[in-house]
Amino acid sequence: MDGITERVLEGLATLGNSHVREARVFRAPGRVNLIGEHTDYNLGFVMPVALDLACYAATAPRVDGILRIHSRNMNDTRELPVDDIKELKPAGHWSDYVLGAAKEVALAGYPVEAADLVIESTVPVGAGLSSSAAIEVSSALAFLRGRSIDKLELVKLARRVENDFVGMPCGIMDQFISVHGQENRAVRLDCRSLGHELVPLPFSVRVIAVNSMVKHDLGASAYPQRVRECAEAVAVYAERIPGVASLRDLTAEQYRHFDEYVSVPARWRARHVISENERVLAFREACVRHDRAEMGQLFYSSHKSMRDDYEISCAEIDFLVETAMAHSGCYGARLTGGGFGGCTVNLVAPEAVDTFKQAVAEAYHKQFGIIPTFYDCHPAAGAGEASLG
């Protein structure tokens, strides 16, 4: 049994649960998106990997009709009568992610029983590595307590927690990869058909995420604003080109033909999404060819497009990207996640990883007085039950 599994089980005992012997533990990973940013809710392409950073949820039954949840990260506990779950309203609080999962499980027709739930996550919160999908999926599995569920149904259920309960209009990528991740593989996902393909990464590159340790408030309002701006652009094209229902349906040539009819900044947002979809497909090809230089160039083009067209970067992230690009062992760097802070993702030669981390940490500290955190991203398996053996 690993340390975090032990801790969440101990957490149940600390809460005073008297059925710890019936406890089960479920795990769901965070992710780093290699390329394809803000393309998921535009029904395009993405290419994430699941991480060995994950959220663990331990659950054990209670007999008094109460549902009690505790986050070890937040050191906070909430409880409510389990019979109230279907009527529950969001509270604008971390517990929304967990109780929203209970509600969605109940609404999907599965019985949600009185229980204690203890959660601990190694996914950094709010850093763009999707601690939210990790907590949603692990909580949903804990409330299901081993009842079988189709993987895609679980993905959609967890996404409803975030869309309908938490109120964040995110696409399907985060929940999809948290459920479908595979060891040593990236997943190229078509967010419309939900068809996916496992892509091995060349052994000769390491994926390193660098946490800027900043998160600017603008992010919360900018995300739904970008969703609206993309819809505004789609409406212009849908009037002119039959069959266009999302930015996914537009080629770069079709885009250019009518772009003057789209007002700014929606025009730029659409340009990012359309070029980013092309980059995902090109990145997949470059991976297969083990063409590290091309993979790196696509990373950097993606970053510039997010910075200039999608306008979701910030000074700290741009600095991390430029510093990384200036390092001889780094092939490419870009912002990953929603934007306005969080992490960059970097492709680094294995032998250069240590000097890369040192150079980036020193430069970032000198410029902003902040020590960044580094994550070596080893593609890991998707969600499931943790072994208690």
Active site residues: 174
Q: How far is CA 210 from the centre of its chain?
A: 15
DSSP 386: P
Task: Report the residue from 36, 181, 296, 337 that binds ligand ADP according to the rule CB under 6 A.
Answer: 337
What does the per-residue mask of binding to ligand ADP show for 293-332, with x meaning CB under 6 A?
Answer: ----------------------------------------
Pick what 9 binds: Mg ion, ligand ADP, none; C-beta below 5 to 8 Å, kind-dependent: none
What is the distance between the alpha carbons of residues 207 and 32, in angstroms, rounded to a whole number? 9
Residue 157 as a binder of ligand ADP (CB under 6 A): the answer is no
Per-residue DSSP letters for 168-226? ----SHHHHHHHH-BTTBEEEEETTT--EEEEPPPTT-EEEEEEEEEE-THHHHHHHHH
176 makes contact with ligand ADP (CB under 6 A): no
- Provide, rounded to whole angstroms, the least separation between the CB of residue 126 and ligand ADP: 4
- Binding at 210: pick from Mg ion, ligand ADP, none (beta carbon under 5-8 Å per type): none
Stretch of 62-70, 117-125, 230-238, 286-294 lying at the interface with ligand ADP (CB under 6 A)? 117-125
Q: What is the DSSP letter of 143?
A: H
Dihedral sign, CA of 254, 260, 262, 265? positive
8 A C-beta contact, residue 226 and residue 269: yes
Q: How far is the CB of 37 from ligand ADP (least distance, A)?
A: 13
Number of residues that bind ligand ADP (CB under 6 A): 18
Question: Long-range CB contacts (< 8 A, 24+ apart) of 321-327?
Answer: 323/359, 323/360, 323/363, 323/364, 324/210, 324/356, 324/360, 325/300, 327/352, 327/355, 327/356, 327/359, 327/360
Task: Name the residue with tokens 């912002």.
Answer: 335
Q: Which CB atom, from 126 or from 384, has the smaller least distance to ligand ADP?
A: 126
Q: What is the smallest separation between the CB atom of 173 and ligand ADP, expressed in angstroms?
A: 11
Residue 69, contacted partner among Mg ion, ligand ADP, none, CB below 5-8 A by kind: none
From the list 124-132, 238-246, 271-279, 368-376, the region that binds ligand ADP by CB under 6 A is 124-132
Please give the residues from 12 up to 71 whose contact with ligand ADP meets the rule CB under 6 A.
55, 71
| Closest CB 332 distance from ligand ADP, rounded Å | 21
* 97 lies in the site for ligand ADP, by CB under 6 A: yes
Q: Applying CB under 6 A, which of residues 17, 33, 42, 131 lies at the interface with ligand ADP?
A: 131
| Binding region for Mg ion (CB under 5 A) | 130, 132
Which range, of 120-128, 197-205, 365-373, 378-386, touches ligand ADP by CB under 6 A?
120-128
Crossing angle for the helix pair 292-308 and 266-288, to the nearest 10 degrees: 170
92, containing H or E segment? none
Partner that binds at residue 176, options Mg ion, ligand ADP, none, CB closer than 5 to 8 Å by kind: none
Contact 226, 312 (CB under 8 A): yes
Tell me, rounded to whole angstroms, the distance of Cα 222 from its chain centroid.
17
- Interface with ligand ADP, residue 121, by CB under 6 A: yes
Q: Is 45 helix (H, G, I), strand (E, B) or coil?
A: strand
Q: Is 73 in the site for ligand ADP (CB under 6 A)?
A: yes
- Contact indicator for 379, 186 with CB cutoff of 8 Å: yes
Q: Please give the Cα distance from 381 to 95 (Å, whole number).
A: 26
Choose which of 108, 114, 125, 282 interacts with ligand ADP (CB under 6 A).
125
| Pick 255 or 340: Cβ nearer ligand ADP | 340
List contacts with ligand ADP (CB under 6 A).
55, 71, 73-74, 94, 97, 119, 121, 125-132, 135, 337
